Structure 1
Amino acid sequence: MIRRFSQVVMRPLVAVGIIAFSSALALAQNAATNTTKNNNAAVKSELPFSNTQDFEDVKKGFIAPLPDNGIIKNAKGQTVWDLGAYSFAQGKEAPDTVNPSLWRQLQLLSEGGLYEVTPRIYQVRSADLSNITFIEGDSGVIVMDPLISAETAKASLDLYRKHRGNKPVVAVIYTHSHVDHYGGVRGVVDEKDVQSGKVKIIAPEGFLEEAVSENVFAGNTMGRRASYMYGNLLPKDPKGTLGTGLGLGTSPGTITIIPPTDTITKTGQQLKVDGLTFEFLLAPGTEAPAEMHFYIPELKAVTAAENATHTLHNLYTLRGAKVRNAKAWANYLNETLQRWGDKAEVLYAPHHWPTWGNEKVVDHLKKQRDLYKYLNDQTLRMANHGYNMVEAAEMMELPAELAQYWANRGYYGSVNHDTRAVWNYYLGFFDGNPARLYPLPPTEAGKKFVEYMGGADSVLQKAQKDYDAGNYRWVAQVLDNLVSAQPNNQKAKNLLADALEQMGYQQENGPWRNFFLSGAKELREGVKKLAMPVTASPDTIANMPIEMFFDYLGIRLNGPKAAGKKMAFNVSLPDIKGNYSLVVENGVLNYGPPVDKPDATVTINRTSLDDVIMGTAGIDDKVKDGSAKLGGDGAKFKEFLGMLDTFDFWWNVSTPNPPPSE
């Protein structure tokens, strides 16, 4: 059985999107150790590298490269995308610091430009993390999944129009609620055309709620972790990031959103768009909480959105999100086969390259279906034998017929962490062992651990021996305790960084590599503020339904500061014709209809309230310029605003954060 499924088993243990710029110069990185060299060399004999069909498919239908050598800039002249930065792998053998399977995936992903999928369907690939797809109707073009940033989406549309004519955009389809599938929408359409009815925005049921809740409610912590997951802090080279396996990287441009005009609410629903028929299948709770597949009978073309790409996907994403339902994922792929499997001649997706021919389409969908079903069923089988989450993940092995299929390799999700995701989905964080029910937090536990081990010097001596022996997983586990206890112990941080670095070099999984190498970088250099996309962008927050906006305020309310206080405010929002109350009591914020005796009244347009909450203007500024009115005890409302936390994006990931200040 193949054990190097997604993360190589270690021997012997085996918004505007740019928020900050800083120098990306890194400290010197280590070479691959003999353990890492041997581990990566073994991969070459275990996987079918002689099968080069993907290299033929990724070039099929090529029309034109990205202009300007693959560089896309924003209005300030700052680069938000550089495809050429990933070209270092082309035509070369994998170096010792890279798992050969991930190197192969990078070679495929760094092919980019405009491609014909089938007549009337075109894609621009490798202009962002995802693909943008152009489907030609009778008079215009339907855009599917307009990337992360308005800049990359616009550049892609310009490239398409240069070679296919200046067709108007008549509709945009969001296949699901992740930012790389809607964030660039204002780069391809003007909202005035949406409001006038000239352009439809089509999305699955629950799209807006899920897009906003994921990217705003937990957006700060998720975005910081994403800086590790997507390798944003790493150099693009054989000792740095190799992309994510799903795509190359994330563009730090302008993230936008336009709410849907047409919502798909049931499987079997059909829409006629510019002469083409779209048949939809809802797939909630799969790769995204709101997701859908569709088939175009006139073109015999099917997309399963992000549920059938050329990688094992995440059942739990390392940036943090709701755990996904592997059983539902498999079931919806099976339903896709039942509905359209005998008809489809091409399968295309918002990532990677298409699959052509009915026989290959069916085979691909079956193998992807069975990949997720195997993980679901076998994890539960082991759980029912009494194995805990970590044990089950360590034991999980895919059968050869799944593991040897390139599209099932763990470039983005991994067998190990997807197994843990299934276990957690059904059974939660507790494994049943009471000794693990109430652990000490890392800093306190670390101090006791170091004391028990005879002090920091003793721990480091033992850890160095294990590092020299190639026991990197154990070194990382041990030194995490030491660094938690002594976050200023640079010798401990450096050795921990060395272990993480070798673990990163061995990974087949792009995000695992990025996490390990990003952790090593932070341990050596401290937190570096570099270019990052901001998912909780001003445009996203401005398009939140007002109830979700008030929920967001509740998340930002500092509970300890609010404890013991009672406040009530009536808020009138003339531009959206809304009247609400905000009530602080018991340390929480609730909202509802206006109350009889508020402490203060506030009249302010929603757009101005957005400015106040985002910190681009103060409430006094709005009162002064006449765009807000305060009645009653205005000082209390200002006190309330002062109890809303702002979130520092650059919190420590690999070392302890200081206690919160109240």
Structure 2
Amino acid sequence: MPSRILARPERGRPPGGPILGAVTPPTMSPRRLRTPRIAPGLARAGALLLGAAAVIAAVASLLGWPHRDRGPRPQPPSPAAVQPDAGVEHPALARLRAHSREFEPALINVVGGVHVAIGEGLANSILIEGTDGAIVVDTMESAEAATKVLALFRGVTDKPVRTIVYTHFHPDHTFGASVFAEGRPVEVIAHRRTDALLDEVMDVVSPTIYPRSMRQFGTHLPPAAVPNAGIGPRLDYVEGRNRIALLRPTRTFAESLDLEVAGVRLELRHAPGETEDQLFVWLPESRVLLPADNLYRSFPNLYAIRGTPYRDVRRWIASLDAMRALRPAHLVPSHTRPISGEAEVMRVLTDYRDAIQYVHDQTIRWMNAGLTPDEIVERVTLPPHLAASPWLAQHYGRVDWSVRAIHAGQVGWFDGDAARLFPVPPQERARLLQALAGSGRSLAEEAGRALAAGELQWAAEMADAALRLAPGDAALRGIKARALTAMAGRQESANARNYLLTAAGELSGEIAIARRDPSKLPLEQLHAFPIDGFMRGLTVRLRAEEALETERTIGFEFTDLGRHWTLIVRRGVAEVREGRTEQADARLAVSAMRWKEIAAGLRGLPAALATGEARLEGSPVALISTLRLFRE
């Protein structure tokens, strides 16, 4: 969140400064939200007390695998009951069916001794063959799935597996490990958080996660109703039929680990994204990148509807940028098929990170303009060139879910509308809606009736709904304002009272919260604001709709700091990174202090150029037209 909130901007208008947008600090990612956690020692002790069956059931419930219910197991509904698409197939379903080609079973030799097994379970398993041994990266979701993959691997080598790498803790990557060990001791490498996250599946939310996961993966549906699971053909685990073969990590690291196994050099890097313990594997000699679950052939699950803590989108983008910096020749995801060729790999990596950043930045942009999540999802869709990428089809994650997750991750559950602070309970809402349906009253009339009857929350909600149809209606604004004022009089919470009264005052016109004016910021505070945050904050101020055909690079040299920054506008996304770029359409050399004054509107850029306080190299048109994309 910004460190200083001076005012709320006018709804529907993204905040910005005279040239570059407001000089507010960039919206900071919140602390990672974590599910309640049992300490590793307690979890293991609990496992002993509960018994192996209970542990397996609790672990499986996080991902959504079936467990033994206490009551009779319901029979699956008939295919007709769960296939509303019977008859003419909708194009969306046809596209999902076509996506199943991605999971046709195969063992693909990517290059040299690198092989990937596809289609034997939800995830892939990757074999890296060395001189006198082998490495397996990710191990499937069950012993049975792993056994099928091991048979494929044994078709190309009989060398023993010496090292197993977990790219992250999810069960479809970890629960087949001991099969690959074949009774021999093996080194199991993971991020240092992986072991604890495996323990956390015993937390108190598993009763909530379980039924939601069953719905997400379609586990109780007949096979004909489930073309695929979006990132794999199916989840290959059913209790009583499958066995968990988990091995605990024996070697962990925090940020990076370089090693050699059986003559193969590997570089492991922490790459938080889909999970906080995510890592990628880089094989420098063959230029093979294993990106784990930070990239697969679908729009990513920035939020999983089975329920997840907030996935830090900015860190996900940074992880993809770290991969791009390697310029891989081969890309081998842990879901979906590999691709080869540096140009194609770089295009996919860039499009993927741009899609994630676009959704993040435009969500924040419209959030800062005062829009609610429901309003933002109507505005934020992928640009046409990204929407057309087969790597960004919404077979698994969705843009609208991601918008809501980013909003909640930044500011929590409340969308800012005072009428939603104390929503009418579901049962009461159903009763009121039933009564309204047969009354013949309009929304506006119902709002007036509810206010007169003292049904204050319902009056506020009905007035709010009616205002969607008549935004400028003074009478409706008055009804909502009076309802909020009356509600404020009943509050013990100072926060609630203040918020309700202020919102009522805004509706009545008695209160006007001025938009933040960066030119009014005290000069000493402006100068003290770090240039890092200042530059990175530009990304959420881009007027993306005006930049969809723009590809331009601007270099900045901050002469008083001896530091360089690069701003790249790439078809609706602003990538900002520290460092000097070799090629730029324009370069601006200026002190960081002067630049912040220029961006805040306290000093004009032409004047700074005329006096020599700023120096321009390259195209003035490129510089000015690019900066205008960040205007108010």
Q: What TM-score comes out, normalization by structure 1 length?
A: 0.53
**Range that drifts further, 212-221 or 170-179:** 212-221
Matched, 1:275 2:248: no
Count of paired positions = 369
Matched, 1:153 2:146: yes
| Contact 2:66–2:219 (8 Å) recurs in 1 | no
Aligned to 1:261: 250
Aligned to 1:241: 226
Deviations 1:447-484 (A, max 9, x none): 333333339xxxxxxxxxxxxxxxxxxxxxxxxxxxxx
Alignment of 1:47-58 (within 5 A): none
**Alignment partners' CA distance in 2, 1:409 and 1:24:** 30
**Alignment partners' CA distance in 2, 1:23 and 1:246:** 27
| Contact 1:210–1:289 (8 Å) recurs in 2 | no
Aligned to 2:175: 183
Q: 1:309 to 1:27 in 2, by over 3 A?
A: closer
Once the 2 structures are TM-superposed, how far is the Cα of residue 179 of structure 1 from its aligned partner? 1.2
Once the 2 structures are TM-superposed, how far is the Cα of residue 264 of structure 1 from its aligned partner? 2.1
> Residue 370 of structure 1 aligns to which amino acid in structure 2?
D
Aligned to 1:325: 312
Once the 2 structures are TM-superposed, how far is the Cα of residue 119 of structure 1 from its aligned partner? 1.6
- Which residue of 367, 379, 403 maps to 1:395? 379
Once the 2 structures are TM-superposed, how far is the Cα of residue 365 of structure 1 from its aligned partner? 0.7
Aligned to 2:78: 26
**Alignment partners' CA distance in 2, 1:246 and 1:178:** 14
Larger Rg: 2
**Alignment partners' CA distance in 2, 1:213 and 1:357:** 39
**Alignment partners' CA distance in 2, 1:409 and 1:261:** 38
Matched, 1:362 2:362: no
Aligned to 2:395: 411
**Alignment partners' CA distance in 1, 2:217 and 2:66:** 15
Deviations 1:22-79 (A, max 9, x none): 6435163487689x96xxxxxxxxxxxxxxxxxxxxxxxxxxxxxxxxxxxxxxxxxx
> Residue 131 of structure 2 aligns to which amino acid in structure 1?
D
**Alignment partners' CA distance in 2, 1:370 and 1:173:** 28
| Contact 1:311–1:409 (8 Å) recurs in 2 | yes
> Residue 178 of structure 2 aligns to which amino acid in structure 1?
R
Paired residue secondary structure (2:286): coil
Deviations 1:232-283 (A, max 9, x none): 111222xx2222211122112223422211112113x312222111112211
- Which residue of 317, 335, 338 maps to 1:351? 335
**Alignment partners' CA distance in 1, 2:246 and 2:124:** 17
> Residue 97 of structure 2 aligns to which amino acid in structure 1?
W
Aligned to 1:431: 415
Paired residue secondary structure (2:136): strand
Once the 2 structures are TM-superposed, how far is the Cα of residue 350 of structure 1 from its aligned partner? 0.8
Paired residue secondary structure (1:99): helix
| Contact 1:114–1:159 (8 Å) recurs in 2 | yes
Once the 2 structures are TM-superposed, how far is the Cα of residue 216 of structure 1 from its aligned partner? 4.4
Matched, 1:202 2:186: no
Paired residue secondary structure (2:343): helix
- Which residue of 102, 106, 109 maps to 2:100? 106
Please, which runs of 5 or more residues in structure 2 have no aligned partner?
1-55, 58-64, 440-632
**Alignment partners' CA distance in 2, 1:30 and 1:232:** 13
| Contact 1:32–1:96 (8 Å) recurs in 2 | no
- Which residue of 108, 116, 124 maps to 1:115? 108
Deviations 1:498-523 (A, max 9, x none): xxxxxxxxxxxxxxxxxxxxxxxxxx
| Contact 2:122–2:235 (8 Å) recurs in 1 | yes
Matched, 1:144 2:137: yes
What's the % identity of the aligned pairs? Answer: 28
Once the 2 structures are TM-superposed, how far is the Cα of residue 320 of structure 1 from its aligned partner? 0.5
> Residue 373 of structure 1 aligns to which amino acid in structure 2?
Q
**Alignment partners' CA distance in 1, 2:430 and 2:258:** 58
Deviations 1:319-357 (A, max 9, x none): 10112111111111111111x11xx22110110001101
> Residue 120 of structure 1 aligns to which amino acid in structure 2?
G
Q: 1:413 to 1:27 in 2, by over 3 A?
A: closer
Once the 2 structures are TM-superposed, how far is the Cα of residue 217 of structure 1 from its aligned partner? 4.0
**Alignment partners' CA distance in 2, 1:140 and 1:410:** 39
**Alignment partners' CA distance in 1, 2:291 and 2:91:** 34
Once the 2 structures are TM-superposed, how far is the Cα of residue 298 of structure 1 from its aligned partner? 2.3
**Alignment partners' CA distance in 2, 1:27 and 1:347:** 38
Matched, 1:449 2:438: no
Aligned to 2:35: none
**Alignment partners' CA distance in 1, 2:425 and 2:303:** 23
Q: 1:290 to 1:28 in 2, by over 3 A?
A: same
**Alignment partners' CA distance in 1, 2:75 and 2:373:** 40
Q: 1:254 to 1:223 in 2, by over 3 A?
A: farther
Paired residue secondary structure (1:331): helix
Deviations 1:277-301 (A, max 9, x none): 11122112x1112101121112221
Paired residue secondary structure (1:379): helix
> Residue 411 of structure 1 aligns to which amino acid in structure 2?
H
**Alignment partners' CA distance in 2, 1:157 and 1:330:** 34
| Contact 1:185–1:256 (8 Å) recurs in 2 | yes
Q: What TM-score comes out, normalization by structure 2 length?
A: 0.55
**Alignment partners' CA distance in 2, 1:323 and 1:255:** 28
